[in-house]
Structure 1
């Protein structure tokens, strides 16, 4: 082992930009300047790859990775429109290494030639179906291009996966990534867990909390979400004596209107930052609803420089710590089959990222503390509504392809041995991490071989917000997403599903896969991810725009909803030709649109295959799906995204797998989440 005295160099955590050279020598060609291709290129470039943007992939033999985005247009090898069948033949002839094709619905389905927009992608991926303020209103459309950007991150991860498989031996690999499946497998992960596990109540973590929601203060708003009993006691203490008669979180949920009213009255007499500081000081997940400008200013005051304006701002914002020492074995790349990952996380972000690594072939061990199990083990929704530690829908859907390890203790104190682990990842608070010995310093001190320590937290491991508690919607509020988003009434709103968490999951996988590919690395590397900064990075291009500009309808066509009988449809039209084609298909004239996401009344007869007719005409359109719709959708079931596994407690049940596959091979296999015997 390397002792502390052997350490030669230590670099303090540094702010973005934070490029690494782990992919040095890897040559990447991305076709076009689309959102998906641009984000994937920036991610791979930050990790050290030599990335070139071009319009012609016919010289593919000069590159290790070729990435073509066919989501919004049917891009071919030479950058022009090409049908999928011809495209597949062309790729088979040109591919000599790794080829990543990103399309709206996948290249091996009957929708292989369909296209999508940001708007229709969020409808097809189920996000808009769970972002409703009422059935009579149009869904809340999240700000910016977060869906397409997420697909870009997933594209980069799929390329890294293929590089690992390629290095392990075998011929050229063609990655087939579906944008719809990428959104379903990440941003819709909790809702899909609820649907696939046949849970009887409504989905969404916020419904298990009280208080829950946005509250007005003297100078702004806060978002508060209490999900655990110890948080309820802390919240109760902060508002004492207002809620003294409500003893438990369960009672608070039963009296949610009363609890929320008490908080609203309390918050109305204080500033937003004052409310945040008081409640967070007690351990209550509460955050100010920041704008991008106020977020940038607050993080700067706190010592974490957040660059939202530079075109070179990193897509993977993180603070890096590097220690060089004297490893007891030569530095070399780690094959996926040999990669040992300790998942010391809970809830969503780290567990899902680790599960993806397990599905790719890594050896993932889930660390569990019997005295304080993951909240997702302990709390519903439960499969078929039957309670039990092994029946949690969320836990089972986020922890596949893992074995489990109980936190060892000696004389009652945590005594974890890191020997043999290549990667240790966590997303618990700094105080909790230190108390059980999984903080970065303890990981570094506990192993002499090369180790990657990844820490994911709501607000980063340094600065005044480091100890803040957070859930996904708190992070949406803190990062500027909520302040920039408008619902169907024109009011500030939030999307209905967690986004920061699954986005972080993808980034955790990206950091790990790239680190394992390098043949030369420092002894110890720490990656400190702030989920709020990562979420804010998705909105940087909107920093100087106001809501009226962001949500203004296009001059030609636009993004709009309309009803087709019981179905709500989402359509994007960007040219006069598309408008004419749409009007011809539906037999109605499109009215002049004023705002993005407008709900228009087209009337007319119900057409049960209207979405397919629009897709066949080259129009970006989709039914506004919910998770339950997608779980029962024959088309999506036929893609193989949902896989059946078996466990003792649940029997045969379905999980959502990786949203890509290698052309000509089977889907990557899944195994059920580990179960506990002490139930």
Structure 2
């Protein structure tokens, strides 16, 4: 048996498309035995393509092949007794069921959680649906498009590029990103439930709402609505656009946010006189004058190629990445050096290139070598055969003794030394903290987290202060906090002392910084041989471009996602919600829990290298598959979809109010006609097929817009959902915070902060039937210094006080 992280798990995947299969893929590629159950006609991703030479082939769909690596596959007709019996037989030997079927469908089949829990008490039942179970919208139909627009992300996309709101509606990404978010959220939550089972012997329902999984990415907006509502920006452009034109395309460039970046940027521009203006001295000044600065920067940038700008930015350490097409991304020296893009020769699909893994495990790497199953390939092996007995759970708590004593949550007794800052790593450790881990956030007064400093200008309730940042407090709950100057020798020693008492250590320093500080993985392993270390960065810890500097949103340019996202005929577009930082954080949480499970079984720790760019490409396979299988360059198409029509965002009553509608198939088109009152324009028989509707999409859009413009977005969505049509209001931040579905499901949690008081924060986007997550306040700066350094690390009180005076613990 190969040495894989999760080979002792068996997952039954009763799901189609993207969200459920991506969840299953993350397990399968780390060694779990994932059995995919398809209907007799197959997963609809088999019909999505792309196909070799454009010729449909259910065994040669690029998307299906990518999402279903390393799985075994069976078919079952759930409308029959034999089909349902086949699923029950598979569940007898399973640890987890992953399904994207709606609750009402499962109840009809007798395969819902309540039907199964008595028969399979140790089964973790993971449900992935657009709006989750229960609540006023639990039965709403949806897909990646409507989920994205229901979450606040659509409202914010494109970020800082909307100059004409009436003619630039909220925008969806160029691939079903929302489903990938839902899938990885399901994977991370499932790992939490598996850890919980170690203490109780029982499985539970893991209920994932696509809306919540996507709203997780607008956490900063939610914090703004709660803490500083007067400062929540409009959808129209109000700050710098990341997109900067060059002589041969575009880069994402942000030299404006920090003063030292702006100083360096002036130098590479040749120190023009205009850039030294007193009006541009501070980041706040520059933001207020962005419309004056941008044209002047663009006059300079247009004189250079993307490669020239990227190299200049690399040399001086400011965030800049070229906007790559799929063909250009394939030439990336960084991806080539790291072997990230994988060439495949498939007998049905022919040669193509797919993304590599979302993260690199040093000891138990993701592996995609196992081909996706052919339709029904393993029926003879698995269906109707005697199954293994259900996993036997030993009586009592199976965790190590020190973890049993620490508490009853999934990760109780796990200690995390968190050296991360800003967004992605802190979000990953907030997951671990909410699941019960003791997370010790290590900060320094010499280098305050940028989210803390936002409290100085955007303090909660309009009161400035580094403890009053809604963004910091809403991202760093359930943690302890210490301060440590790791630039000093004694500070480095104390960091290692803390790590020697920890299970996991996290960092997102620029590549090479930890090693230069003497805090790299080999240094950590020397003091704690079984340590798990997770490093996050824009492009990874190795490779010729590993020293790149970047925010998540600028790194996005490298991944082809902005290239395929945008209005038809328009420019590449950036995404809302500080994307992709929080998606990266969820992947990190899944990776760390997977490594922890492996260490519990074998005693071996390992290093995990998470490169933002690679993780996003792993969630954006479609452009790369289309280019390498068909040789076509994907085009920006706004809110439309090649497989659905009509689909779009339509105006409704009110200023800049919109409703998102997606007609998935011909049956849903019939429902739309009925909901509209069977108007004469819709009775044309040519519209009864998706091809006919695509051909007349503009005509349909005009008629639909006239209908929606007479209704509020909520009225329109409710009327359409009553007819079984995927539709949702496009929610902005304030509407999101008041959304009845999110409130019903408890997505917002009230946390009592010692300085700010009780306020609402976006919680971890999951719901467990048996486990109550832990939400404690974000720490004050250095709040737990004495507790951690004396009680845990073992400093004598006199030495502690001396190190405080010497600005080591500071």
TM-score > 0.5 by shorter chain? yes
Equivalent position to 1:42, from 17, 20, 25: 25
Pair 1:527 & 2:631 matched: no
The answer to whether 1:126 aligns with 2:166 is no
1:513 corresponds to 2:593 = yes
- Seen in structure 2, the aligned counterparts of structure 1 residues 312 and 240 have a Cα distance that, compared at 3 Å, is closer
In structure 2, the partner of 1:573 is: 663
Structure 2 counterparts to residues 175-194 of structure 1, below 5 A: 175-185=206-216, 187-194=217-224
- 3-state DSSP class of the match of 1:139? coil
**Residues 76-103 of structure 1: CA distance to partner in whole angstroms, max 9, x if unpaired?**
38xxx759xx834323444432111112
Mapped partners of 1:299, 1:190: distance in 2 = 34
Give the CA deviation at 1:666. Answer: 6.6
| Structure 2 Cα separation of the partners of residues 205 and 555 of structure 1 | 29
Task: Go from structure 1 to structure 2 and tell me whether the alpha carbon gap of 1:412 and 1:234 turns closer, same or farther (over 3 Å shift).
Answer: farther
Q: Which has the higher strand share?
A: 1
What is the match of residue 89 of structure 1?
A: 114
Superposition deviation, residue 503 in structure 1: 1.3
For structure 2, the 5+ residue unaligned runs are 38-75, 77-83, 345-351, 365-398, 404-409, 688-692, 784-809
- 1:244 and 2:281 matched: no
Secondary structure at the aligned position of 2:706 is classed as coil
Aligned to 1:296: 330
Shift of 1:359: 0.5
CA distance in 2, matches of 1:457, 1:264: 28
How far 1:315 moved relative to its partner? Answer: 6.7
Structure 2 residue 225 is the aligned partner of structure 1 residue 195: yes
1:108-507 matches, cutoff 5 A: 108-132=134-158, 133=162, 134-136=164-166, 137-185=168-216, 187-203=217-233, 212-226=241-255, 227-242=257-272, 243-245=275-277, 246-299=280-333, 303-307=337-341, 310=344, 316-322=357-363, 336-379=411-454, 381-408=458-485, 414-415=492-493, 416=495, 417=497, 418-434=499-515, 436-448=517-529, 450-487=530-567, 490-507=570-587
When residues 174 and 302 of structure 1 are mapped into structure 2, their CA distance, relative to the original with a 3 A threshold, is: closer
Q: Deviations over 1:83-134 (max 9, x none)?
A: 9xx8343234444321111122122323332221111010111111111524
Name the CA distance, whole Å, in 1 between partners of 2:236 and 2:443.
24
Structure 1 unmatched runs, 5+: 1-18, 324-329
Cα deviation per residue 1:163-208 (whole Å; 9 max; x = unaligned)? Answer: 00011114331111111111112x2222222223234213599999
What are the Cα deviations for residues 600-627 of structure 1, in whole angstroms up to 9, with x where unaligned? 5233642653323322332211100112
Please provide the CA RMSD for this pair: 3.1
Alpha carbons of structure 1 residues 313 and 65: separation in structure 2 relative to 1, 3 Å = farther
Cα shift at 1:65 = 0.7
Q: Tell me how far apart the structure 2 counterparts of residues 193 and 529 of structure 1 sit (CA, whole Å).
A: 26
From the superposition, tell whether residues 315 and 630 of structure 1 become closer, same or farther in structure 2 (CA, over 3 Å): farther
Shift of the 584–116 alpha-carbon distance from structure 1 to 2, 3 Å rule, reads same
Which one has a larger percent helix, Structure 1 or Structure 2?
2
Residue 37 of structure 1: how far off its partner (Å):
1.5
Local SS of the residue matching 2:125? strand
How big is the shift at 1:523?
4.1
Q: 1:101 aligns to what SS in structure 2?
A: strand
Relative to structure 1, the CA distance from residue 656 to residue 553 in structure 2 (aligned partners, 3 Å threshold; closer, same or farther) is closer
Shift in CA distance, 431/236, structure 1 to aligned 2, threshold 3 Å = farther
The number of aligned residues is: 645
Aligned to 1:76: 106
C-alpha spacing 1:536/1:23, structure 2 compared with 1 (3 Å): same
When normalised by structure 2's length, the TM-score is 0.74
> 1:367 Cα deviation (Å)?
0.8
Query: Contact conserved, 2:505 with 2:534, CA < 8 A, in 1?
Result: yes
Q: Distance in 1 between matches of 2:726 and 2:179?
A: 13
Q: 1:181 to 1:150 in 2, by over 3 A?
A: same
CA contact (8 A) 1:222 1:288 kept: yes
- Aligned pairs for 1:579-590 within 5 A: 579-587=669-677, 588=679
**Bigger mean CA offset, 462-471 vs 87-96:** 87-96
Deviation at 1:314, TM superposition (A): 6.9
Normalization by structure 1: what TM-score? 0.87
Distance 1:491 1:411, change over 3 A: closer
